[in-house]
Homo-oligomer: A and B are copies of this chain.
Amino acid sequence: MGKKKETITIYDVAHEAGVSMATVSRVVNGNPNVKPATRKKVLDVIRRLGYRPNAVARGLASKRTTTVGVVIPDISNAFYAELTRGIEDIATMYHYNIILSNSDLQKDRELQLIETLLEKQVDGLLFLGGEITEAHREIFSATPVPVVLAASRDEKKELPYVTIDQIQASKEATLILGHEGHQHVGFIGGPLTDSVNGYPRYLGYKEALKEMDIAFEEELIRLGDYRYRSGYKAMKELLENRPEITAVFAASDEMAVGALHAALDMGRDVPKDLSVIGFENIPLASQVRPLLSSVGVPMYDIGAVAMRLLTKYMNEEQVETGQVYLPYDIQLRESTRLKEWEEEKE
């Protein structure tokens, strides 16, 4: 087994083919300025020797690595996994590879990852989910490497991003509940300190209540961590403290399904006694009974569009707007009673 084979370089190929390194480089890079005959000759030698270009050397010489860094909160989260798939597919399409790393939303880890990625000379950076602090801004603005945020936004609009209008989406979800006639609609959210997801979704809920003249009640609010268990617990408490509650908007599908089950376990019928609507529309929503109604976030598209946007920056193409909001759609299924919904987007 040829484990010991000497690494063969562009020089070897050049030598063997009787041409210069420059020529080999040209054919490897598809430069048209090579006589077909020589090209063929070189290609043959390449094949015969099993030459494999060294991308690291190439990167050093050309200052392009065709690699982009992706900082993500947690790949084992269905939401981000799907988003990453979108990123990777487009990256592949444009011949980029991605270096993936999980931040768990920890600020210092994020910063450190970005630093490492920059050291590795990535051509671009995709930053997902986390909040943008001054420290982030500083490091981003000090590098020539383009950065695009995905599934989050930069209030100062200094950085390009692609996401959906979370406030509007949450508002609409809550509005739907209101239109079903509920007077007590609860909210199961994420941390309000999470300005990326937690707070906007909460805001949308509040705005909807206001628009419908339903009194906002602190007691109808429960906060979790977006996971199933916390949704279950939240719903249980809600039902215990305010049995008159008949609808709830959850800021994530996992929490919504948790809520669903809590209600079922407490003898409530969904959607007869209680309407539940979730957020994200991950596969889970269509894999439980009753089927969960949910705000459909185009995760794959967010990733794909963000990556596409990044390629434009990397190619120094002109970009009209760096801030893009993708459309979301509300999937009304079995956990709510309303079956149709048409709202004017402003």
Contact = CB atoms under 8 A, between A and B. Distances in A.
Interface of A: 1-5, 50, 52-57, 59-60, 65, 67, 74-78, 81-82, 84-85, 88-89, 92, 97-102, 115-121, 141-144, 228, 254, 257-258, 261, 264, 283-284, 286-289, 300
Given A56-B121, A89-B102, 17 more contacts: A2-B142, A55-B121, A56-B60, A56-B65, A67-B120, A75-B75, A75-B81, A76-B78, A76-B81, A76-B84, A76-B300, A88-B102, A97-B116, A99-B100, A100-B100, A261-B289, A284-B284
A200 to B, nearest CB: 25
A97 B97 contact: no
A2 B141 contact: yes
A265 to B, nearest CB: 9
Nearest to A227: B283
Copies of this subunit: 2
Contact of A99 (B99, B118, B254): B99
Nearest to A50: B142
A121 B283 contact: no
Contacts of A65: 56
B88 A100 contact: yes
A120 B264 CA distance: 53
Contacts of A288: 287-289
A53 B119 contact: yes
Interface centre among A2, A76, A119 (most CB of B within 10 A): A76
A76 B92 CA distance: 16
B102 A100 contact: no
A-B complex: 10 closest residue pairs judged by Cβ atoms: A76-B85, A81-B81, A55-B120, A55-B119, A1-B141, A100-B100, A56-B59, A56-B121, A76-B82, A2-B142
Contact of A60 (B50, B57, B101, B258): B57
B100 A254 contact: no
A120 B82 contact: no
A115 B67 CA distance: 15
A283 B254 CA distance: 10
19 contacts: A3-B142, A52-B118, A53-B119, A56-B60, A60-B60, A67-B99, A74-B85, A75-B81, A84-B100, A85-B102, A97-B101, A97-B120, A98-B100, A98-B101, A99-B99, A254-B287, A258-B287, A288-B288, A289-B289
Contacts of A98: 99-101
B228 A283 contact: yes
A300 to B, nearest CB: 8
Contacts of A142: 1-3, 5, 50
Interface centre among A52, A99, A287 (most CB of B within 10 A): A287
Contacts of A74: 85
A77 to B, nearest CB: 8
B75 A78 contact: no
A261 B283 CA distance: 15
A54 B97 CA distance: 18
Contacts of A60: 54, 56-57, 60
Contacts of A67: 99, 120
Contacts of A286: 228
